[in-house]
Amino acid sequence: MKTNDLKIATPHNESSSPTGGRTSSMDRKVERRGPSKWLKAGAIAFLLCIAAYFLYHSAMQGRALTINGERQRIATVKSGLFEDYIPLRGQVVPLSTVYLDVVQGGRVEEVLIEDGALITAEQQLVRLSNSDLQLSVMNTESRVMEQLNAMRDQELRLEQNRLGHKRALVEIRYNILRLRRDLARQKELLKKKHISQAEYDAFVDELDYYEQRKAVTIESQASDEKMMRSQLTFIADKNGIMEDNLAFARKSLDDLNVGAPVAGRLSGFNLEVGQSISRGERIGQIDSPDEFKLKAEIDEYYLGRVSLDQTVSLMHAGGSYQLTVSKIYPDVSNGRFDVDLLFGESAPKGIRRGQTLQVQLTLGNSTQALIIPNGNFFQDSGGRWVFVVNNDGTEAVKRSVTLGRRNKNFIEVVSGLELGERVLVSSYSAFGDVERLKLNDS
């Protein structure tokens, strides 16, 4: 029997190897295990830290700005004498100005003076006409005259009534006197039986009648006198009002002839014949010709530090002059407010209206303090923060500070900066909302 024909029985638990050999039942398949849970958690935490770092770095890079340091103005915090003043540019204006506003409008009939002329008080300037006003004044005069006539008629009736009472009282007194005399004679006749008792009683009754009539007339006269005095007082007051109204109506026509209320130099007076002027319209002004003051604008930052009678210094044409703050205008426009400055005992000779003069307003006493140069940064930060440059000059970091007084050249440092530190004092307007500035040389 051939060997290749023999079949060898193998146990059922044996299997063929992948290579075609046999594998015993003692061999087992080893399974591969992945990374542990702690290793996975550590890897995730590491990745999150890297992501946070890059996010933080990206955020910090977004709030930083690289600029050319050579183009910036950098100043050092110093200790020095702070002079508390501010420079002002004052414009020469007339000391007093009276505006010409027409009381009654109308048509220009005649211009009597030229613009720029020196005029005297009550000098006629222009003559206007107004037909509607003239008709209104005529109607007013007519009504007033009617009321005055009616009141005079009432006054006349009161006087006639007073005289009537007086005449009646005179007649009654006459009759009483006559009856008393007759009664004395009648009494003697009655004793001698020449007249009857009835005739005598008639005389007594008539005398009693006149006595009673006299008492009533006197009482009526007193009452009428009291009423008449009250009415006459009322009439007199009303007459005064009516006459004032009439005078006011006539004055309205006088207002068409516009005159100068004060003496001075006329300006802004440009009228033409035939031009229509509205009621209340301004047609010019009268300025004091030889007396001047200064009007200056001040930054609103100093509004709380400027007060009346503060001293202002002026150097002009080699002379020194003193002025004082005479008026403060509280209205703020475009971040500035106005003040009026009055000259002291003397004013510079030769100054003209409209001329600009440089003055210094003293706000307080000079003191020793930490100071930095005044710069455009103040307008951008409001004096609440600055960019402080590091020691090697490569970076400037935003820092909150407290700044105090300032003048033309310097700003007082109250807190937030130390002596010798360097500060960026040029404009911050191009930096946006960054926290750090990187300074390079290009």
What's the pLDDT score for residue 359?
Answer: 92
Sign of CA dihedral 135, 140, 141, 142: positive
Whether 372 has a pLDDT exceeding 60, the answer reads yes
pLDDT at 229: 78
Q: What pLDDT score was predicted for residue 51? A: 64
- Answer whether 371's CB lies under 8 Å from 351's CB: no
Mean pLDDT of 181-193: 86
Q: What sign has the CA pseudo-torsion 291, 297, 298, 303?
A: positive
pLDDT of 186 above 70:
yes
Question: Residue 363 — very low, low, confident or very high, per pLDDT cuts 50/70/90?
Answer: confident
Across the range 300-315, mean pLDDT stands at 89
Residue 442 or 216, more confident: 216
Predicted local distance difference test score (pLDDT) of residue 32: 52
User: Average pLDDT of 183-188?
Assistant: 86
Q: How confident is the model at residue 76 (pLDDT cuts 50, 70, 90)?
A: very high
Dump pLDDT digits (tens) for 276-305: 999 999 999 999 888 899 999 998 888 888
Q: How far apart, in whole angstroms, are the C-alpha atoms of residue 92 and residue 164?
A: 77
Which of 247, 290, 243 has the alpha carbon at shortest distance from 95?
A: 290
Name the percent of the chain lying above pLDDT 90: 33
Question: Does residue 201 register a pLDDT over 80?
Answer: yes
125 versus 70: the higher-pLDDT residue is: 125
Contacts of 252 (CB under 8 A, 6+ apart): 103, 104, 133, 136, 137
Average pLDDT of span 327-349: 90
Average pLDDT (2-10) is: 40
Cα 308 from chain centroid (whole Å): 18
- Average per-residue pLDDT in the chain? 83
Structure confidence at residue 401 as a pLDDT band (50, 70, 90): very high
pLDDT for the residue numbered 284? 93
Position 377 confidence tier, pLDDT thresholds 50, 70, 90 = very high
Q: Which residues pair with 376 in a beta bridge?
A: none
- Of all residues in the chain, what percent carry a pLDDT higher than 70? 88
Measure the CA–CA gap between 87 and 435, rounded to whole angstroms.
33
Judge whether residue 442 has pLDDT over 80. no
Q: Which residues lie across from 389 on neighbouring strands?
A: 396, 422
Quickly state the pLDDT bin for 58 (edges 50, 70, 90): very low
pLDDT exceeds cutoff 80 at 112 = yes
Q: What is the CA radius of gyration of the chain?
A: 56
pLDDT tens readout for residues 127-138:
999 988 888 888
- b/e map 390-421, b = 16+ CB within 10 Å: eeeeebbebeebebebbbeebbbbeebbeeeb
| 210-252 pLDDT, tens digit each | 899 888 888 888 888 788 778 778 777 777 787 888 888 888 8
Average pLDDT, stretch 255-269? 91
What is the C-alpha separation between 108 and 102, in angstroms, rounded? 12
The residues near 47 (Cβ < 8 Å, ≥ 6 apart) are none
- The answer to whether the Cα torsion of 45, 47, 52, 57 is positive or negative is positive
